[in-house]
Structures are given as C-alpha cells and as structure tokens.
Structure 1
C-alpha cells in the first residue's frame, strides 16, 4: 500500500465530526504505522506490480540478461537459494540463468518475496543469499536481536530517484527542498515555484521496503512527516506509486513519489512520469557511475554469516567480469 501526507481540514459540523470519530480512528491507526490506503480502491484498475515471470531464469523466452558465452562457473548441486527486492529480481535471475545447471527443482530456489520478506528470511536462515538495498534500522535490529551476523557484499550501484507527472513544470528539486517536503515544512507546490500546482500529494512506501529505507537515509535524523489519508480516493489509482504519481487531480498532476531508477525506467515504466534532477543533476548512467548524482548507493548480496561453499563461489563469480557484465546488461551500474 502506498501512502501520502496531508493535513486534514477541520470539519465545520460538530455532529458530523462526532459521528465519524470512531471510523476515522480505525482508519488512522494503520495510517501512522505506514500501511494505510483507501479501502474502497484496490488494484481493480490494473496490476500494481511488474510481471516477474518475464524474467524467470529457466524459461526459454526469459528477458533476463545473458552472457555471450557459457559462464565460467556452473553449479550442478547445492544450489544457493536466492531471494530479494522486486527491482533486483531480473538481475539475480540472470545470475541463476548463467551459473545454475538446469535441473529439476532449480527454479524453486530462485524466488522474489520483496525486500522486507527477504530480510526476514535471511535472518531466519531460510535463504542463502538475498539481493537488496541496505537495511533499515529495524532490519539491523532484528538481525541483532536474533544473534545473526549479516554480511553485505556490494555488487552494484543504483540511483534513488524522485518522480513527478510530466505536466509538472519543475524538472528538478534541491536536496533541502525535498527534506522540507518530507518533513512537512513545505506543503504546496507554489512554495517551489509552481503556483497552479496546489497541495503536494506526497506518496510514501511501506516501512521496511528498499525505497522507504532510501528516503530515511536521505532524511537522516530529520523526522519524516506521518502519512495521512488521501483527499480523493481517485488518487489511489492502481495502488502503484509509478501510476499514482501521474494521476490528474483538480486539473494538475500534483503528486511526488520516489523509487529506484531501474524499477522506474525498465520494470514498471510510466510514460506520464518523469525523473527529477536533484541539485541540478539528472540520474543518468554517467552521473551514477561518477558519483555526481547525490542519491547513489550500493546494493548487496547479503548472507547470514560469512559466505561459504557454493554461496561463496557464486558471490565471487558475481564480482567477476562475467557477473559484473550481467549487472551492466540488466541496467545497473557495476561495482567494478
């Protein structure tokens, strides 16, 4: 479920307010925990997620990246079980396609349950490797509480990007402007130079997701304003931020969202959405590689303890020229 922040106007009718108190209380409990969305609108208008079957590693028509020649590593047994972020599934599916010998049950060890579930699984010892962005503080604490040492091996770099509708006249924002928006200090587009934009519909992702952790890292110690109900259920759309950012309301596209670059431009693109420059820098491949784009971070192969056996063989191969070639072919920036 996707969220947004908005101060609700006080109701003029005391009677109506008292009659709705209990209902609003029930709705707002999940709002402040990061899981609220308009219950009347589900995903009936379309899929809220990309079709991951397109990248299935052992499918003949898989869209996962491939090497021009056979991989130097082929694992025939003790195949590491893989899981991770939705946006990284095409990449680790490509790793499995290249390095796993096709066999009965091979597809069962390559799954995608999303970032929060993948972290839970690696902490519980249910996966051998997960492919994710860095952990949230709660995920770090969960590992510590379980007495688990998570080992993070960086394998590539990616940009954390901000999204707006194409009709938004602003092509970029400054870091301080973003902090003002997500802390609640700035609530209207006119403050940023778009007089007709109205209130900023500021979407958020659920706690524990890779992109929400990216937002938290950007904000640092500055508190993120709590999410509030949408002013109009029509803004909920399909339930996907990539679609919600382009929704027109009151004649404008007032929403602001965020994602990771590959997901936004390759896995679930929306032609009505644009990526914003940050501090004047567009998140191009070159700006990510040379570090000019300010929100660039590594993503990781994460193991429960130091990698050993076939797990170590696979991670070492991922860091090789062949593995890094698949990182680049998929659409990410290699770490080497």
Structure 2
C-alpha cells in the first residue's frame, strides 16, 4: 500500500512502531523493519555509546530503513543527531519539536525528520521549519498525552499542513488504518500494539497484565511526574496517587540519583536537561524533579518485570488487545484487514442508485 509516507521513508507499509523507552530496542525495531513497517529505536534511556551499539545491532539484523527517536531538549542532542547521520539512519523522530537549525542539519545530511506532536499549532510550527512529516498523537495514546481525541486532532492537522501526517493514538488493526487514511493521514503509528508482540522484550508477566486489562483499566494520572501520563491502573499507581508531595519528592530524588548513575550523566548535565525541560514545558522545579521518576519507574516494569515497583505506559487500545503475534504476523494481519475494509467500502460504490 503506497502512500506519501511510504514513499518518503522507503518502507512497504504505512505503519510505524513508535520509540517506546525500554521497549523499542534493537530486536523489536529490526523485526518491525523486516516486516516492512518503520521501526523506531528509543534512545532517551541510552548513553551515546549505548545508542551507537544499538544502531549497529539493528543494522546487523536488517537492511530495511529504520528510525531513532531523540530528545530534542537533551544536552547532547546535537551529538546524537550526528551519530545517526554518521551511521546512515534513515529517520530521526522527536518527541518534542526540534529546533529549526537541527531540522536543517539533519535534512542536509539526507535524514528524514519526523517530530511527534499533540496540537495543530505544533504541527504548523515544525512544518514551517522544514520537518518532512509529523506523527500526530491523540489523547488515546500511551505515555505523556493530551486530552484531544485522535478523531478531532487528526483532521485539524491534516488540514493545516502539506506534509505527510501519520496518525497515532487508538490504533491496533487494519480498520483503524483505513479510517486514518479516510481522514487524510498517510499512515498510522502504534506503540502498545507493537509492545504486545512476541518480538517485544517486555517480560511475559508484564505482557500478561496488559492482555488482562479492560478499557477502563487504562487511566491518566499526574502522580508520576506532574504531567498527564496514560498507563495501566495498578496498586502501585494507586499508591503514587495517595502519596503526599513530600513522599513523592523524596522518591523523585532517589530515582534521579539512580537515573544519573544509569545514564552516565553528571549532575551538571541533568540540571542542564532539566532547565531545557522546564523551559520547553513551563514546569515548576518540583515537576522537573518528579520527571526523573518516569524512566526509572518504566524500567522497573518494562525491563525488570516489577509491576509492584514500576508503571506500565499504555494506550487505551490495551483494553481490546488479546494476543501476542510476531511483528511479521501483526503487520501482515493489519494490511490484510485494511485491504478487506477497502474492498468493503468499494462495494458501496458498486451499488445501483436507490429508486
């Protein structure tokens, strides 16, 4: 199925596996790429050397195009951008809008730049700065999210920009792909659906928690880092919401120290990144400190399998996902469902006029 997005990045199918921290590693990304979709490697929780190693591992596993997700507000964003240029990575994905200068630098090197956005004005800004495409996430999406549904946000953005738009938030099958195409999108991006595959390295016990969840078991909370964060409801999330502010801040300090050790960042670098985050999101200093919770709490669940000590970021679609196909099986199924849905729609055009 050829669209403006598949032509832009050189993949067979208009499907994207999003760059989920601790989840979108080399195995998942390469499996997605080999299935003909765009896999995006999550780099925010990696050091520069770890990122280089991960990129090279993906390249050893696939010849297909793939992407790397970068934090535009990270102190070493320029170095990470240069790494993906040097390694010949096809796509640079951003969770926050990169600067006009960074977009220009990547494009000049032949890298396709695709920021993720959650508002029409953000799409207009990055499009004016030269972004090649945008991923638009509606409120149904997992992790940090907004409160505007995909069905409202997507057509707004499609009407506002003249670059390919990829829809995210609430997608899991071929019917969703066709619906997004009908809105004017050039593809869909899925996080939770790719997390729940046999190629995902998330522990089996954690996957079982996702599969057992109903739609109402997916909640939005500010208890992790002060920002709206969509995740599975759990006893641990309940305890975070019950905790007083002092307890939350003490926990954040402990996790900040843990993340500093894990990431190899100095306190000076963490403060610099915190300043960038504070400016970019207009956060209080306590919220910046609480933001250190996110990578460590996600790691506890997604890597260590400790759902009693970690959180499970999740889109609402977790409530209707029931199996763990391989990436190849998932992509083939989604595309077969999409073609079937299109055939069904075409059948209406063949009906004789009423009367």
Q: Same fold (TM over 0.5)?
A: no
Which structure would you say has the larger Rg? Answer: 1
TM-score for both structures, normalised by structure 1 = 0.30
Judging by fraction of residues, say which structure has more helix: 2
TM-score for both structures, normalised by structure 2 = 0.29
